[in-house]
């Protein structure tokens, strides 16, 4: 008989929750835009600047991807693989990503 097995304390619920929250914060949503077709000025409200495209408003919004999985961890731009290889019709796992799905009960819309 040994009591060794019980020497490692189980993590508390609060500890687990904090770890899940940290993972969810990492795997947050990242919005992908395309050209919206308007001419925007730098100081227009609600426009964002996109690499190689320029300024776009909400009309250019295309889909959500994971800010970690589909940006290669950059959290700033979409990876080439995501842009050209992932389907963005709801059948792929860009958002919610597999990590997020495993941690929550969220489904793709």
Burial class for 23, CB neighbours closer than 10 Å (0-12, 13-18, 19+) = middle
Can residue 103 be called a binding residue for Zn ion (CB under 5 A)? no
Can residue 55 be called a binding residue for Zn ion (CB under 5 A)? no
Can residue 68 be called a binding residue for Zn ion (CB under 5 A)? yes
User: What DSSP state is assigned to residue 6?
Assistant: G
Per-residue CA distances from 22 to 18, 19, 26, 89 (Å): 6, 5, 6, 28
Q: Which of 31, 57, 71, 103 binds Zn ion (CB under 5 A)?
A: 57
Q: Which of 32, 33, 64, 82 binds Zn ion (CB under 5 A)?
A: 82
Residues that bind Zn ion (CB under 5 A): 27, 36, 38, 57, 59, 65-66, 68-70, 82, 86, 94, 97, 99
């Amino acid at each position: 008989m040994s009591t060794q097995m019980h020497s490692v304390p189980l993590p508390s619920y609060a500890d687990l929750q904090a770890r899940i929250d940290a993972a969810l914060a990492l795997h947050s949503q990242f919005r992908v835009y395309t050209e919206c077709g308007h001419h925007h000025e730098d100081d227009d409200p609600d426009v964002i600047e996109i690499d190689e495209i320029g300024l776009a408003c909400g009309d250019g919004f295309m889909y959500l991807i994971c800010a970690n999985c589909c940006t290669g961890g950059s959290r700033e731009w979409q990876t080439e693989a995501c842009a050209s290889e992932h389907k963005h019709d709801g059948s792929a796992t860009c958002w919610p990503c597999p990590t997020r799905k495993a941690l929550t009960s969220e489904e793709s819309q």
